[in-house]
Structure 1
Amino acid sequence: MLGLGSKFNFSYAVPPGRLPKEMEAHLFEANGVFDKPLKEVQTKYAKDPSYAPVFIYPSTVVYTADTTVSFFVEHKNPDKDFWGSSLLSNHPDVTAQDKVDLPAVNIGRFILQNFRAEDFVVVKMDIEGAEYDVVPHLLSTGAYTIIDYLYIEWHESIVANEPAKIKNARNAAQQMEKLGVHMPVYDTASA
């Protein structure tokens, strides 16, 4: 686990008998505020042979397609690590002038191309409302078959005016869980 402040203090599932040096971490972070600290973490872990590689994708959005998207960088809450940055312009912590264009990665494709079913894959998703598009995407692409644990922080208030989207994402999550993906409750505020 990487400790980048209280926001990142959370214990994830680890397969029995595995050591940190036998694992790797892939970190996608859209908010450019974190580019430098993430690169420093990557360098730190690269110098320590007891840890496996940390791959970072700075200023990169996790989404359903390889494309360029509008991303809204939150500037109101520096004491909470700018926690409200989002793809959604209606997020209460962003304004239209906070918009930047960033590359987005098709997370379903990324998972399917980089991991195998026999790998132990843990995904932590805190993407400020975009989970309502990404979760059904993981199901429809079959990427869920690679995932062992999926930690999702749901931001329902941001998409409250889209009940069909909420229902679709929750149904996709339930279906994946029935098909073997472990989904422990995850909430940054209580982590």
Structure 2
Amino acid sequence: LFRRTNIGQAMAINKNIVFLCAVTLPAAFLLAATFHDINLLSNGVSKLYKGASAAVSAPDPSKPRYIFVDLGANRADSLEAFLQHEHAKFEYDFPSPSWATHDDADIYLFEANPHFNYDLIMAKERYIAEGKKIQIFPATVADVIDGTRTFYLDTINVGQDYWGSSTNPNHPDVVNSNSNGTELTAVNIARWLLMNTLPRDFVVVKMDIEGAEYDLVPHFVEMKAWTVIDYLLVEWHTALPQESAIKAAVEASQKLMAEGVNMPEYNSGA
């Protein structure tokens, strides 16, 4: 009788365990499936600065940062110019605050052309080894949306690093390349700036994106990105857009400058 009682009790306990598992495990899987990291934007870009790599410590939240955002980084040519390397492809005196040097900057490189993925990875590895703070966004379109965007490759201008690659299917170099386009990740860059920088930071944005500036600059105004941008350096491609797009970009530039954004002339020649 004693053994039968123990067996009965054990069976009852096992039934309870089975019941609890049946109830709790599906709930746990449901929670895991619906978990959303509140520190990520909809495209997976972090809202919070977490350093360029595990080897780079997060900045002091009580201090402003010097931030360089390179839209159209190519094979890191403008990065080398920014860091004032002797053998950089071109020279330009990028603005800096009185309290920091170019070597102190937090650097973010965006480049859509997948051809330069390897170069950007190598540049990041090299400069992080030197103590620089760099994050790269290869095969990523700086855009007015989060999602995907068709990007058209220039395959003919080898000596100019395929500089005609563009989101514009009517770009002459794209047309001459017979490019059908490829789908790439798109980042709402105005939103990214607003989520990843602060008004107290010194933010320099360089933009060389083969005509897409006529979409992005007005969008900066719509998003009130002037609240976080100190300098906006745009290489204008005036032969590409329609007159209406040029007019909208001029008006947007005037608005940005009226709100305190510095927009000096910029032309890399690269």
Q: Scaled by the length of structure 1, what TM-score is found? A: 0.91
Contact kept in structure 2, 1:74 and 1:85, CA below 8 Å = yes
Separation (CA, whole Å) in 2 of partners of 1:10 and 1:21:
15
Contact kept in structure 2, 1:111 and 1:143, CA below 8 Å = yes
Q: 1:177 aligns with which of 254, 257, 262?
A: 257
Map 1:1-191; keep pairs closer than 5 Å: 2-3=79-80, 7=89, 9-49=91-131, 51=132, 53-95=133-175, 96-159=178-241, 162-189=242-269
CA distance 1:17–1:64, change in 2 (3 Å): same
% identity of equivalent residues: 41
Q: Which residue identity is paired with 1:117?
A: P
CA-to-partner distance for each residue in 1:7-26, whole Å, 9 max, x for gaps? 56433101113134532111
Separation (CA, whole Å) in 1 of partners of 2:248 and 2:88:
32
Provide structure 2 residue ranges, at least 5 long, that are not aligned to the other structure: 1-77, 82-86
Provide structure 1 residue ranges, at least 5 long, that are not aligned to the other structure: none
Secondary structure of 2:179 counterpart: helix
Contact kept in structure 1, 2:154 and 2:179, CA below 8 Å = no
Secondary structure of 1:188 counterpart: coil
Contact kept in structure 2, 1:2 and 1:8, CA below 8 Å = no
CA distance 1:94–1:30, change in 2 (3 Å): same
RMSD: 1.8
Contact kept in structure 1, 2:257 and 2:263, CA below 8 Å = yes
CA-to-partner distance for each residue in 1:133-170, whole Å, 9 max, x for gaps? 100110110112210000001112111xx221211111
Q: Which residue identity is paired with 1:126?
A: D
Secondary structure of 1:73 counterpart: coil
CA distance 1:63–1:74, change in 2 (3 Å): same
CA distance 1:39–1:6, change in 2 (3 Å): same
Contact kept in structure 2, 1:27 and 1:56, CA below 8 Å = yes
CA-to-partner distance for each residue in 1:39-96, whole Å, 9 max, x for gaps? 11111111112x2x11100000001000111101111111111111100011010134
Q: Scaled by the length of structure 2, what TM-score is found? A: 0.65
Contact kept in structure 1, 2:152 and 2:165, CA below 8 Å = yes
Separation (CA, whole Å) in 2 of partners of 1:98 and 1:187:
29
Separation (CA, whole Å) in 2 of partners of 1:19 and 1:86:
32
For 2:51, the equivalent position in structure 1 comes to: none
Contact kept in structure 2, 1:7 and 1:81, CA below 8 Å = no
TM-fit CA distance, 1:6 = 5.4
